[in-house]
Every structure is written in structure tokens, then in C-alpha cells.
């Protein structure tokens, strides 16, 4: 780039005695920070001010010891950017995206040696940088959301494990009370049809009882059969077996027993209240 | 089917259940037609329960044991329904569960009405 400097640097900066680049390295970090005395404004804002004032200057940007670079601006036009190994628009975008930077402004006395490596105007670069920042934030939010979801799933699994242990304990009480009259027992989550605890029953059979409950619920929901399915139903089965299904909130207990060894009366008046009480005490 | 004996079945039921009797209906399982009913409003529920019996019977084919003599459904509120499938026929009885003891229904009334119905069916 050729042509003499038409306008000189007018911004108020305290950069006296900071012309020597090697001085800061020798004096350590404190001195380095003194070398870039401007802070509090973003790189983009500074570039816009320089652009509006049509200044010719070198804007040095410092983020950390290994993250620094500079912009060359001639009469307000951003001509060149260098940031580490990066050059041109890539370097400019990188530095514009930095936050909490320190800046320094130096005069450019002769612009003829500046090789332009940025063609886009400043506004386009700022807009592109803004778009990239939004994208990055969005991605971060998605990542955070994923992490939160995973945490929630883990917590839910833990709660389910505790519930299953409690439900297993409930079935053990039932087994103990009913002895050999108990043929099978299962506890199912009605909505998901998942078998949460079982005794001597295949999952398919437990799912079968759940499908019967679903059928009754739908049939009674129509209103023709009264005010909806109540809290239990009883199926008399062949081979002296009885199936009692208890509906306790979102759970279903399906208990099959030998009615020659345990009468339905005994089950409904002694066993069933105990099952309901134990279940309610679990506070699931 | 002896119609007089069928009506007698209903009389036995009313008498045994007393104030706990709400409604009753006997239908044919094949086409859901009503043979006898104490209450027109009860016919719809009897028809729905005919379908329910078909569903249960089909579902239980994958289970080691079949449906036996009856099933009993607790209904929200004061009602309960006893369903007795008889092959080609099905008897539905709606009771007030607060007024009818299940033990009486299943151990006294049920055997009596099954005998009465079988008597009516073969006559």
C-alpha cells in the first residue's frame, strides 16, 4: 500500500515508552500488561471507532502471552491482520471474537510497506464474527442441555432402581404371607407396561394382564359401564386359580393364586389390605 | 331355552340380592342380542362386556390357564359388575357393592343362578 499518511492518530492513549517490544518480555507479565494500556472496550468497538474517525494506525491486541496480534488500519480501512500463525480475515475474526483483551495503538508513519490481506469491509467482518459467536453459544447451550439431560436420566435410573428394590420387597412380603397358594405375582407400571417386579411369571404374561386392564379402562371410560374402572378386578380361572388385579395409582399388581388353598375372601380381607398398606407406605 | 325359567333366573337374582341388585341382562355371545334384561340402560354395558369377554378369552390363549366361571369388575363409585360367560350366552349382573357382600354373591347367588340358567337352557 502506498501513499503518505493523511490523518494521524488522535485517540488518547498512554503508550509512551512502549515502543520497545522486547522490554515487556524482560519485565514479565506486569510489564506486558503495561504495554497494552487500553482495556474495557471490545476489539470490534475499537475498530468501529477507528473506522469512523478514519484513522491510520496499528492496533495491537493482547489476550494472553500466546494470544496476541495486530490490525493495520489505513484511513479507517482495515487492511491487514496478523494473529500468531494466522493472517488476513481469519486472523481478524479470531481477534474480534476475543473478550477481555488489552489494546495498544501505534502510529503508522508510512503505509507503503503494508501488504493488504483483508478485502472484506469491517462491517461484514463484524457481522460474520457475531454470527459465529451466536452459533458457538448455541452449540454450547445444546451441549449443556445434553449434559443436563444425561444427568436427569441418571437420576431417574437411580430412582427407578430404588423403586424396584422396594417393589421386590413388597412381593417378598406377599410370598411370605401367601405361602404355596401364591402362583405368581407381578407389579407393572401401567403407562409404560414395564414389569418392575415379578414372582414366578413371564414378562409376556404380566404384559397380558396389563392389556386386559387397558381394555377395561377404555371400555369403562366411555361411560356406558358407570364411573370408570375401580381399583381392582377379579378373574376366575380354570384349574382352581384366581387372578386379582389391583390398580394402585400408576402401578398394577397382578396376583394369581390357588383358590383351593387361599379363598378369595381371605385374599380380599386379609392379604389385599396388607398389600395396599405396604404399597402406600412406600410413597412411590 | 325355556323363557319362563329364564325369567325365574332373574327373579332368583332379585330376591337374593335385595336392595343391592341394580340391573341384569342375558345376551347371546355370537350376535350380542338381548334374551332378557331388567333395565334398558343395562343393555349397552352388557354388549360392551360381551366384547370384553371375547378379548379376555383370546388374550388368555397365550396363558397356561383359561378364563373360568366368572369375572368381577370393581367400578368407581358404588357399583360393581359380575360377568358370567355360559358359552353361547353371557349373563351380566350390576350390583351396589356397598349393599351386596361379595362372599354372598360368589358363594351363594352365583351357584344358584348358574344351576337355574342351565336348567332353563336345557328345557
- The ipTM (two decimal places) reads 0.94
Instruction: Give the Cα separation of A213 and A233 in Å (integer).
Output: 9
Dihedrals phi, psi of A237, to nearest 5 degrees: -115, 160
Distance from CA of B103 to the nearest CA of A (A): 7
Instruction: Report chain A residues whose CB lies below 8 A from the CB of B58.
Output: none
Tell me, what's the pLDDT at A159? 61
Domains identified in chain B and CATH numbers: 3-122 (3.30.450.30)
Q: Which of residues 238-257 of A touch B (CB under 8 A)?
A: 238-239, 241
For residue B19, pLDDT over 90 is answered with yes
Residues whose CB falls within 8 Å of the CB of residue B80, separated by 6 or more in sequence, listed in order: A230, B72, B73, B74, B94, B95, B97, B100, B102
The predicted model gives B71-97 an average pLDDT of 94
Total Cβ atoms within 10 A of residue A116: 13
Tell me, what's the pLDDT at A42? 84
Q: Are B21 and B13 contacting, i.e. CB atoms less than 8 angstroms apart?
A: yes
Instruction: Report chain A residues whose CB lies below 8 A from the CB of B60.
Output: 208, 237
Instruction: Give the Cα separation of A87 and A109 in Å (integer).
Output: 22
Radius of gyration of chain B, Cα coordinates, nearest whole angstrom: 14
Residues in chain A predicted with pLDDT less than 50, given as ranges, are: 1-24
Query: Searching chain B, which residue's CA lies closest to the CA of residue A226?
Result: B75
Instruction: Give the Cα separation of A36 and A42 in Å (integer).
Output: 14
Instruction: Give the Cα separation of A254 and A206 in Å (integer).
Output: 7
- C-alpha cell read off for A29: 507479565
Check CB contact under 8 Å for A219 and B52. Answer: yes
Task: Look at residue B81 and give its three-state secondary structure.
Answer: strand
Instruction: Tell me the HSE value of B91 on the side-chain side, using a 13 A CA sphere.
Output: 20
Instruction: Report chain B residues whose CB lies below 8 A from the CB of A241.
Output: 65, 68
Q: Which residue has the cell 369403562?
A: A220
Q: A9 vs B57, which has greater pLDDT? A: B57
Tell me, what's the pLDDT at A24? 46
When mean pLDDT is compared across A108-122, B19-33, B82-96, the lowest value belongs to A108-122
Distance from CA of A269 to the nearest CA of B (A): 11
Give start-end residues of each CATH 3.30.450.30 domain in chain A.
Answer: 150-281
Check CB contact under 8 Å for B72 and A233. Answer: yes
Task: Look at residue A104 and give its three-state secondary structure.
Answer: strand
- C-alpha cell read off for A239: 384349574
Dihedrals phi, psi of A96, to nearest 5 degrees: -65, -30
Nearest-10 Cα torsion for B111, B114, B119, B121: -170
Dihedrals phi, psi of B112, to nearest 5 degrees: -65, -45
Instruction: Give the Cα separation of A118 and A129 in Å (integer).
Output: 14
Instruction: Give the Cα separation of A245 and A243 in Å (integer).
Output: 6
Tell me, what's the pLDDT at A236? 96
In this structure, which topology does domain A150-281 adopt according to CATH? Beta-Lactamase (3.30.450)
The residues of B whose Cβ lies within 8 A of any Cβ of A are 44-45, 48-49, 51-52, 55-56, 59-60, 62-63, 65-77, 79-81, 94, 102-103, 106
Q: Are B73 and B60 contacting, i.e. CB atoms less than 8 angstroms apart?
A: no
pLDDT digits (tens, 9 = 90+) for A221-245: 876 666 789 999 999 999 999 999 9
Q: Which residue has the cell 403407562?
A: A191
Tell me, what's the pLDDT at A278? 79
Check CB contact under 8 Å for A228 and B75. Answer: yes
Amino acid at each position: 500500500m502506498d501513499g503518505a499518511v493523511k490523518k494521524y492518530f488522535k485517540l488518547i492513549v498512554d503508550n509512551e515508552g512502549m515502543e520497545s517490544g522486547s522490554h515487556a518480555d524482560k519485565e514479565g507479565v506486569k510489564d506486558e500488561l503495561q504495554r497494552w494500556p487500553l482495556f474495557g472496550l471490545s476489539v470490534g468497538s475499537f475498530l468501529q471507532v477507528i473506522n469512523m474517525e478514519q484513522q491510520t494506525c496499528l492496533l495491537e491486541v493482547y489476550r494472553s502471552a500466546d494470544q496476541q496480534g495486530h490490525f493495520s488500519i489505513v484511513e479507517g480501512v482495515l487492511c491487514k491482520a496478523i494473529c500468531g500463525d494466522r493472517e488476513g480475515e481469519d486472523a481478524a475474526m479470531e481477534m474480534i471474537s476475543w473478550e477481555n483483551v488489552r489494546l495498544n495503538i501505534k502510529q503508522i508513519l508510512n503505509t507503503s510497506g503494508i501488504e493488504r490481506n483483508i478485502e472484506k469491509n469491517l462491517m461484514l467482518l463484524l457481522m460474520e464474527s457475531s454470527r459465529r459467536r451466536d452459533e458457538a453459544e448455541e452449540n454450547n447451550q445444546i451441549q449443556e442441555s445434553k449434559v443436563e439431560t444425561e444427568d436427569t436420566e441418571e437420576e431417574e435410573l437411580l430412582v427407578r432402581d430404588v423403586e424396584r428394590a422396594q417393589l421386590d420387597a413388597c412381593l417378598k412380603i406377599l410370598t411370605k404371607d401367601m405361602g404355596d397358594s401364591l402362583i405368581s405375582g407381578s407389579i407393572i407400571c401401567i403407562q409404560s407396561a414395564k414389569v418392575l417386579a415379578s414372582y414366578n411369571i413371564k414378562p409376556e404374561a404380566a404384559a397380558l394382564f396389563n392389556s386386559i386392564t387397558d381394555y377395561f379402562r377404555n371400555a369403562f371410560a366411555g361411560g356406558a359401564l358407570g364411573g370408570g374402572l375401580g381399583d381392582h378386578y377379579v378373574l376366575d380361572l380354570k384349574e382352581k386359580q384366581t387372578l386379582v388385579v389391583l390398580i394402585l395409582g400408576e402401578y398394577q399388581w397382578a396376583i394369581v393364586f390357588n383358590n383351593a388353598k387361599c379363598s378369595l375372601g381371605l385374599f380380599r380381607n386379609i392379604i389385599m389390605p396388607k398389600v395396599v398398606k405396604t404399597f402406600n407406605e412406600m410413597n412411590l | 331355552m325355556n323363557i319362563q325359567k329364564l325369567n325365574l333366573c332373574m327373579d332368583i337374582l332379585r330376591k337374593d340380592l335385595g336392595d343391592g341388585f341394580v340391573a341384569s341382562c342375558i345376551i347371546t355371545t355370537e350376535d350380542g342380542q338381548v334374551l332378557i334384561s331388567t333395565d334398558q340402560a343395562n343393555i349397552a354395558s352388557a354388549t360392551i362386556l360381551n366384547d370384553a369377554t371375547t378379548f379376555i378369552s383370546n388374550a388368555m390363549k397365550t396363558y397356561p390357564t383359561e378364563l373360568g366361571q366368572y369375572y368381577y369388575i370393581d367400578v368407581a363409585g358404588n357399583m360393581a359388575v359380575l360377568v358370567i360367560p355360559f358359552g353361547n350366552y353371557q349373563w351380566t349382573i350390576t350390583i351396589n357393592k356397598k349393599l351386596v357382600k361379595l362372599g354372598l354373591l360368589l358363594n351363594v347367588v352365583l351357584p344358584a343362578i348358574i344351576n337355574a340358567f342351565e336348567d332353563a337352557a336345557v328345557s
